[in-house]
Chains A and B, each alone.
Chain A
Amino acid sequence: MAKVTLLTDFGSTYTKLTAVDLDSERTVGFARVPTTVRTGLPDGLSDGLSELKKQGVTTIAARLACSSAAGGLKMAVSGLMPELTVEAARRAALGAGAKVWRVYSHELTRADIAELNAAPPDIFLLTGGTDGGNKANILKNAGMLSRHAARPFPVVLAGNRAAADEAADLLRAFSPVVCPNVMPTLGVLAAEPVQAAIRTIFLKHIVRAKGLQDVASELNAPLIPTPSAVLAGMTLLADGTDARPGLGGIAGVDIGGATTDVYSICRGEPSEANITLRGLPEPYAKRTVEGDIGLRFSCRGIVSAAGEADIMRHSGLSAEALQTGLSQRENDPGWLAAAGSDLQLDKTLAYFALAIALRRHAGQLESVYTPLGQTFVQTGKDLRPLRHVLLTGGPLIAWHDAGALLAAALRDSGSSLLPRSPAVLVDRGYRFSALGLLATWQPDIALRMMLKEFSYE
């Protein structure tokens, strides 16, 4: 057999192994096995490998892997003003593939630290102040952490450079990684240095702490958080390579059981004159995570965001049937809806999940009446011109009306800058994280495979 590359995605529940033949650019094997966090990941991996062997995959030439196992990369971030350094820190962490577990603004309190002590984050991102700006806040927070944290955890310091040395001294016990400021001057988001530091810590500490080192040592490229692989794949699909152009600006939605991730790869700047852009500049490759939107564990989040009445009207279920359906989904995350009203409820939930998650991700356009006439203010990204939306993950990719659900979710956009009339791509084989991984290593092959694997709806 030719050169087979093994792409492994260690998920929180399942480990997915995709074997790809780089010469013929085809998927030659796929296995899904339970993730074995307790007995060590190699256990589950070897189950998967024997499954692949049955499919004829015997020799493996290269290995790549990403992981969201054992809770993924759990981060807490802090900054000074909620709409400035706090938002910059949050965006930098999300773009690094983290699960942003807590967001703190202004000064950390004892209650905040108690929360951190009860469930320490994998990484704490401490920011605050532009360069030469406010120093007091980051120093106060560094002091709070050093005095009250029960045990040190990895810290990335990316605030006012004028306070960096002093803050690092206060946090000596945490051996902080000192980075350039995430917001060096007002309104500038410098995410890359912070994200590089997060990746380094992920490799050095987190991989070991989560029992991933046996797996990581056999890889041909560093183990990365799964959302980073997906972002890399989305960016490649949009931008293309020197050899082949990509699809241009694109958005992607991954509806899971517990969370819904939305990605957009585009500048998203105002597309018309007479629009003033306000707020922090948006990252070109943007990721948002909706922790309350999911089809199983988080299904009640969808109901509270959409309103029970709308869910009942859309699904045709009675209040009683709805409650039964929701309990079933919460209690059994692996449950599959087969047909009838079960499937109808899943589709209703998926429709609202798409509508809500995309509206939270996209920018807003408000009309303002001024003495000089009507003018428009845009905050966030304008996704209207995007020509493609990719659906990946969850039960959605198995449905034949996924595209219609998305089209319905984009209707009545109101002030949201949602894609106007995108073509819908569906990742039917759930290859996205695997091909995203490949994108970091063999972009040309990964791009051709993506264009082949994803089907137009």
Chain B
Amino acid sequence: MDKKTLVIGVIGADVHAVGIRILDYAFQDAGFNVVNLGVMVSQEEFIAAAVETNADAIVVSSLYGHGELDVRGLRDKCVEAGIGDIPIYIGGNIVVGKQPFDKVEERFLAMGLSRAFPPGSTPETAIEYLKKDLGIGQ
């Protein structure tokens, strides 16, 4: 079976380089083809990479609290680029301070993201959802 391709990266001006490497290994280990864009990735770079590699999902990491600003408009741009249906995940410390996560999730889903993960989520959780959303192993 063809491997599913994930485009992953740390969005915005965020330079946290470790978490994204851990995700890279974990996703590869789980059988995904991973395109890791590294840190300080713009929305446009995520989209260009997803189009060129025909990616099955975009996984955005954000650890510095500004994820909410950084992903605003990402879904619209995907629609514009012809990949409007692609699943987009986000995880990390995606908002400033301690906020009830159900409210946070609601805001991210309203922005067109497919799934948002609270701080402390493990790679396994994301893998589980990816398998479900991409129809792997069914």
Contact = CB atoms under 8 A, between A and B. Distances in A.
**A associates with B:** yes
Interface in B20-69: 33, 35, 37-40, 44-45, 48-49, 51-55, 64-66
A135 interface: yes
A129 B52 CA distance: 5
A81 interface: yes
Interface residues of B, number: 24
B105 interface: no
Interface string B99-112: 00000000000000
Given A372-B15, A372-B64, A83 B48 contact: yes
Interface string A186-206: 110000000000000000000
B136 interface: no
A410 interface: no
B40 A129 contact: no
Contact of A186 (B2, B49, B64, B65): B49
A185 interface: yes
Contacts of A278: 40, 45
B40 A135 contact: no
A100 to B, nearest CB: 20
Contact of B39 (A83, A130, A276): A276
B13 A133 contact: no
Contact of B14 (A81, A83, A133, A370): A370
Contacts of A130: 35, 52-53
A369 B48 CA distance: 24
Interface string A56-70: 000000000000000
A187 B52 CA distance: 11
A365 to B, nearest CB: 13
A371 B66 contact: yes
A368 B52 contact: no
17 contacts: A80-B51, A81-B51, A82-B48, A83-B48, A84-B49, A128-B52, A130-B53, A132-B2, A132-B53, A132-B54, A133-B53, A134-B51, A134-B52, A186-B52, A276-B40, A371-B66, A375-B13
